[in-house]
Structure 1
Amino acid sequence: MSASPESLDLARAAAQAASDKLAGEVIGLDVSEQVVITDVFIVCSGSSERQVSAIVGGVEEELIKEHSRKPLRREGERDARWVLLDYGDIVVHVQHSEDRAFYALERLWRDAPVVDLQLDEHHGPEADGSGAPA
Structure 2
Amino acid sequence: MSASERSIELTRIAAATADDKKATEPVALDVSERMPLADVFLVLSGSNERQVVAIAEAVEEALHAEGVKALRREGVREGRWALLDFNDVIVHVMHQEDRAYYELERLWKDCPVVELD
Give the TM-score, by structure 2 length: 0.97
Deviation of 1:78 (Å) = 2.4
Q: Please report how far the alpha carbon of residue 68 of structure 1 lies from its aligned counterpart in structure 2 after TM superposition.
A: 1.5
Percent of aligned positions with the same letter in both sequences? 58
State the SS of the aligned residue for 1:91.
strand
Identify unmatched segments of 5+ residues in structure 1.
Answer: 119-134
Task: Please give the secondary structure, in 1, of the residue aligned with 2:63.
Answer: helix
CA deviation vs aligned residue, 1:52-75 (integer Å, no higher than 9, x gap): 01101110111112x121100001
Task: Supply the distance in 2 between the matched residues of 1:86 and 1:117 (Cα, whole angstroms).
Answer: 19
SS at match of 1:7: helix
Q: Which amino acid aligns with 2:71?
A: L
- 2:51 is aligned with what amino acid? Q
Matches within 5 A, 1:1-134: 1-65=1-65, 67-118=66-117
User: Could you list the runs of 4 or more consecutive aligned residues of structure 1 that deviate by over 4 angstroms after TM superposition?
Assistant: none
Distance in structure 2 (CA, Å) of the matches to 1:95 and 1:78: 12
Matched residues in 1 for 2:17 and 2:5: separation? 18
1:54-113: per-residue Cα shift (whole Å, max 9, x none)? 101110111112x12110000112211000000000000000000000000001100010
Q: Distance in 2 between matches of 1:17 and 1:78?
A: 19
The residue type paired with residue 97 of structure 1 is Q
Q: Which residue of 2 aligns with 1:125?
A: none
TM-score (normalizing by structure 1): 0.85
Unpaired runs of at least 5, structure 2:
none
Larger Rg: 1
